[in-house]
Amino acid sequence: MEIDVAVIGAGTAGLAAAVQLARYGIGTVVFERGEPGGQIWTANRVDNYLGLPGLGGMALAKRFLGHARRVGVRIVQEEVLELVAGKVFTIRTAERKLKAKAVIVATGAEPRRLDGVDGRTGSMLMYDTRELADFWGKDTIILGGGDAALDRALRLKNVCSRIRVLSRGSITAHPGLVAECRRAGIKMVQDVGRWKVGLGDGGFVITTKTGSFQAGAVLASLGKEPRTSLLPRTIEQLAPTFPDGKTRLPGLYLVGDIAAGRFRQTSVAAGMGVAAAMHAADFLKRWHGIKVKGGSGWR
């Protein structure tokens, strides 16, 4: 089986690319290993998406999915296990193997892990808030002081018995998030230095230069690393351009959090997805003679 474009990842960037390709009439399949919608499912609120200020992450993800389905985007819930570059690309999942003339990789980023604690601290060392029920009634400490850490604190404030945020240095989150956390009564402790997370009676003990903190659950919000294990070469070798994600391999594009660097914002991911789709449409016309409905400049 051969398709025109495979999009790997059904987050903001992948869905935006797929919608644009559908509008061009280009045959596209989106592969997603988890729940379509991406990481914004777990956002308490998204404030930077033009025209939809303050919308909850889950509500925004549902709008993105609804838009994609309305224009006929096909989403296959299968994990892509292998991507092989060639004149056309080979994609393998556990269920199938197929060819694609172009591939848009939107696999996102994954949380940085705590050193030396995974595998021995139990299930309540968490890296996201997808399963809110896991935090119900727990005294929770969030490690990190950026936007994501404080957004998660606000999402959990009505779920946990208590929330505290520990930051190694100064809190770097947007001042609006800081003010909102203060209004919500969320304690934020700055400049605790390096921490050590260990087991205590019925939970965790976090040891810092300013003292020890006990909690029933720990949520680590320490930034993210691009999810690159699927790529046929390193990101440095592929050298994606911004914003269209074009790489040194013709027909391969990297978009969204995998390639955005510090610009990991929902609005940026959507723009990158559209830009990649526009470039891919031109590539398919020139290299493969694919007819594009309305031309690649069509709005």
Burial 152-181 (b: 16+ CB within 10 A, else e): bbbbbbebbeebbbbbbeebebeeebbebb
State the pLDDT at residue 299.
46
Q: What is the CATH number of the domain that holds 98?
A: 3.50.50.60
Do 27 and 104 sit in the same domain of this protein? yes
State the pLDDT at residue 119.
47
Do 18 and 103 sit in the same domain of this protein? yes
Q: Express each pLDDT in 227-243 by its tens digit.
A: 999 999 999 999 999 99
pLDDT at 1 over 80: yes
| Residue at a domain's end among 171, 193, 220 | 220
What one-character DSSP code corresponds to residue 57? H
Contact (CB, 8 A) for 45 and 134: no
Percent of the chain with pLDDT over 70: 95
What one-character DSSP code corresponds to residue 20? H
Determine the Cα–Cα distance for residues 17 and 134; give it in Å rounded to an integer. 33
Do 204 and 72 sit in the same domain of this protein? no
- Mean pLDDT across the stretch 161-183? 96
**How many separate domains does the chain show?**
2
Do 29 and 64 sit in the same domain of this protein? yes
Residue 60, domain extent:
2-110+224-288
Do 206 and 134 sit in the same domain of this protein? yes
- Mean pLDDT across the stretch 175-195? 95
> Token digits for 220?
């680590």
In a domain, 296, yes or no: no
Do 240 and 189 sit in the same domain of this protein? no
| Residue at a domain's end among 220, 245, 278 | 220
Do 137 and 93 sit in the same domain of this protein? no
Q: Which has the higher per-residue pLDDT, 131 or 91?
A: 91
Determine the Cα–Cα distance for residues 194 and 201; give it in Å rounded to an integer. 22
Quote the mean pLDDT of the chain: 91
What one-character DSSP code corresponds to residue 113? P
Do 142 and 125 sit in the same domain of this protein? yes
In a domain, 88, yes or no: yes
Do 25 and 60 sit in the same domain of this protein? yes
State the pLDDT at residue 298.
40
pTM over 0.85: yes
State the pLDDT at residue 122.
54
Q: Express each pLDDT in 106-145 by its tens digit.
A: 999 999 988 766 545 455 899 988 888 889 999 999 999 9
Give the N- to C-terminal CA distance of the chain in Å, as an integer.
30
In a domain, 295, yes or no: no
Determine the Cα–Cα distance for residues 258 and 245; give it in Å rounded to an integer. 10
| Residue at a domain's end among 168, 194, 220 | 220
Contact (CB, 8 A) for 209 and 225: no
Q: Express each pLDDT in 258-273 by its tens digit.
A: 998 788 889 999 999 9
Determine the Cα–Cα distance for residues 33 and 78; give it in Å rounded to an integer. 5
Determine the Cα–Cα distance for residues 212 and 149; give it in Å rounded to an integer. 20
Give the residue from 188, 184, 176, 216 showing the smallest Cα distance to 48: 176
pLDDT at 226 over 90: yes
Do 76 and 165 sit in the same domain of this protein? no
pLDDT at 294 over 70: no
Do 249 and 127 sit in the same domain of this protein? no
